[in-house]
Amino acid sequence: MVLSKTVSESDVSIHSTFASRYVRTSLPRYKMPENSTPKEAAYQIINDELMLDGNPRLNLASFVTTWMEPECDKLMMAAINKNYVDMDEYPVTTELQNRCVNMIAHLFNAPLGDTEAAVGVGTVGSSEAIMLAGLAFKRKWQNKRKAEGKPYDNPNIVTGANVQVCWEKFARYFEVELKEVKLREGYYVMDPDKAVEMVDENTICVAAILGSTLNGEFEDVKRLNDLLVEKNKQTGWDTPIHVDAASGGFIAPFLYPELEWDFRLPLVKSINVSGHKYGLVYAGIGWIIWRSKEDLPEELIFHINYLGTDQPTFTLNFSKGSSQVIAQYYQLIRLGYEGYQNVMENCRENMIVLREGLERSGKFNIVSKDNGVPLVAFSLKDNRKHNEFRVSDMLRRFGWIVPAYTMPADAQHVTVLRVVIREDFSRTLAERLVLDIDKVLHELDTLPAKLVVESHEVKKGCDGCVVVKKKTALETQREITTAWMKLVMEKKKINGVC
Ligand SMILES: *Cc1c(COP(=O)(O)O)cnc(C)c1O
């Protein structure tokens, strides 16, 4: 019998990826390959490696949308080759973004006439939106100081220590000092009284968060506004407020329409919101809205004309996709006020199902509030035997991605687990998650004593005192390494929460 030819020489090999040599060679990681790969093989190999990513729908760490209607997917795919910045070439897309800006500004009660154009722009996300808002405040403050003949080289922003990392980025990239109000155990948002105390003549704005990333709680913007009005009156300053409503901007108007947090408060000059969080669009869109033209210094706006007519632009990057803008418009008109309200109410209901399920176990303290972003943040009542990181690790085995992280200063000793309830997290999933958490707790309780002792010591190590009993040198070395890794992890501001 004649042996068949080797696969690589066979003509049929190009028709079956798994019979081809492409699945036998390792792909280069550093240098581009010399030769091309057939498209079927390239697709298969990349697709298969990606299977090892988590399932986005089970990623309970993120606020970012993981489900949209197929009709909207269709619109997005049809626009995938449209560069948003070519406004003259794609005037309809530009028009849709302007309609979104207007609708969102009205939702936030901007003082506008019924047909008056709002001041705002679509961004890649809240991070870009916050850079733009921060720059506008910085420039306005500098202009005022210059006009008064006062120094303008030492600007600061006052926030809570619970701010999202993008504020720290803004501060570092654009050279503004970040003055953080510290937290304390049991109080995980910015205390408005303390924030106003920290305001000085160099404060370009106070940033309040509507929906703290860490526990979903809304900060008291109304009290902040009232205190700051008073302080401005006494000092003659006019320190403004920015509201970072990345997660809460599409929740408060529907669940808590009476809550005053937006442009109804006179000192609120700009608000950002992530379209890709509760705006219900896939990752890649945010919005920044200014109260009025006066709040956005003209000198920050660039006018370009080489794409056709004069186009004002105020964004950090130039080219970007159009799909997310179109998808945001789809969601706004498809759902309407009624639809968004129903979605947010469902999220809230399912959050309560999960919260009650966790409370029934008797093992957790709940550190999130029912009024806020629909999420449950919880910590173990007793984490001496096993800690929250362990619970997070073990839930991964069921497919659930639930992050554990430590709170910022001065509540670093508190570790929480956080589950974000998104539109696509139904009651059935909430009930399953409760069951799986119960299973994990049970398993941890019955783990062999040795393992439990180890995790206990690692935990102690994190608090700064590594307790090492008589162990082999290798065991000791391992423990110290683990403790240091934990310490470094906990020092990091974000551990996979976004
Ligand atoms: C998510 C989030 C951000 C960052 O927003 P992106 O849209 O991811 O850039 C900023 N602030 C808060 C409060 C957030 O929750």
Cβ within 8 Å of residue 434, ≥6 positions away: 353, 354, 357, 358, 360, 361
| Predicted model pTM | 0.88
Q: 97 alpha carbon to ligand 1 midpoint, in Å? A: 20
pLDDT for residue 452: 45
Cα gap 244→3, rounded to integer Å: 69
Cα gap 406→93, rounded to integer Å: 42
pLDDT for residue 384: 85
- 74-334 classified as CATH 3.40.640.10: yes
- Mean pLDDT check: name the lowest of 18-27, 149-158, 374-383: 18-27
- Mean pLDDT check: name the lowest of 251-255, 424-428, 442-446, 457-461: 457-461
From the CA of 210, give the closest atom in ligand 1: 13
Question: Bridge partners of 393?
Answer: none
pLDDT for residue 453: 46
Q: Tell me what percent of the residues of the chain surpass a pLDDT of 70.
A: 86
- Give residues (CB < 6 A) around ligand 1: 63, 125-127, 164, 166, 209, 211, 213, 244, 246-247, 274, 286, 498
Q: Is residue 446 very low, low, confident or very high in pLDDT (cuts 50, 70, 90)?
A: confident
Q: For a pocket test of ligand 1, which of 62, 127, 250, 422 has the largest count of ligand atoms closer than 8 A to its C-beta?
A: 127
Residue of 376, 339, 374 lying closest to 360 (CA atoms): 376
What is the mean pLDDT of the segment spanning 115-131? 95
Other Cβ atoms within 10 Å of 345 Cβ, number: 13
From the CA of 247, give the closest atom in ligand 1: 15
Q: Is residue 466 very low, low, confident or very high in pLDDT (cuts 50, 70, 90)?
A: very low
Q: What DSSP element (H or E) covers 487?
A: helix 473-491
What is the mean pLDDT of the segment spanning 207-216? 95
- Residue spans in the chain of domains classed CATH 3.40.640.10: 74-334
Q: Whose structure tokens read 């006439």? A: 113
Q: For a pocket test of ligand 1, which of 128, 213, 250, 494 has the largest count of ligand atoms closer than 8 A to its C-beta?
A: 213
Exposed, middle or buried by CB within 10 Å (0-12, 13-18, 19+), for 198? middle
Name which residue leads in pLDDT, 498 or 135: 135
pLDDT for residue 406: 92
Other Cβ atoms within 10 Å of 402 Cβ, number: 26
Residue identifier of the C-alpha nearest atom 14 of ligand 1: 246
Amino acid at 230: E
From the CA of 164, give the closest atom in ligand 1: 11
Q: Return the C-alpha torsion angle 413, 419, 421, 426, nearest 10.
A: -150
pLDDT for residue 489: 61
What is the mean pLDDT of the segment spanning 199-225? 97
Compute the mean pLDDT over every residue in the chain, rounded to the nearest whole number. Answer: 89
Q: 204 alpha carbon to ligand 1 midpoint, in Å? A: 20
Q: 432 alpha carbon to ligand 1 midpoint, in Å? A: 28
Residue 108 predicted with pLDDT over 60: yes
- 7-53 classified as CATH 4.10.280.50: yes
Q: Is residue 77 very low, low, confident or very high in pLDDT (cuts 50, 70, 90)?
A: very high
Cβ within 8 Å of residue 114, ≥6 positions away: none
Residue 471 predicted with pLDDT over 60: no
Give the range with max mean pLDDT: 176-180, 301-305, 447-451. Answer: 176-180
Residue 450 predicted with pLDDT over 50: no
Residue of 280, 266, 275 lying closest to 245 (CA atoms): 275
Joined together, the tokens standing for residue 163 give 């701010």
- Residue spans in the chain of domains classed CATH 4.10.280.50: 7-53
Which of the 8 DSSP states describes residue 218? Answer: B
pLDDT for residue 7: 47
Q: 75 alpha carbon to ligand 1 midpoint, in Å? A: 25
Amino acid at 337: Y
Residue identifier of the C-alpha nearest atom 2 of ligand 1: 246
For 415, phi and psi rounded to 5 degrees?
Answer: -110, 135
Q: 498 alpha carbon to ligand 1 midpoint, in Å? A: 7
Contact predicate 272/131, CB 8 Å: no
Residue 462 predicted with pLDDT over 90: no
pLDDT for residue 472: 58
From the CA of 286, give the closest atom in ligand 1: 7
Read off the pLDDT of residues 372-420 as tens digits, 9 standing for 90 and up.
999 999 999 998 888 999 999 999 999 999 999 999 889 999 999 999 9
Residue of 311, 291, 253 lying closest to 133 (CA atoms): 291
Cβ within 8 Å of residue 65, ≥6 positions away: 276, 277, 279, 280, 281, 282, 283, 422, 423
Q: 358 alpha carbon to ligand 1 midpoint, in Å? A: 27
Give the range with max mean pLDDT: 76-90, 327-341, 476-490. Answer: 327-341
Q: For a pocket test of ligand 1, which of 130, 166, 281 has the largest count of ligand atoms closer than 8 A to its C-beta?
A: 166
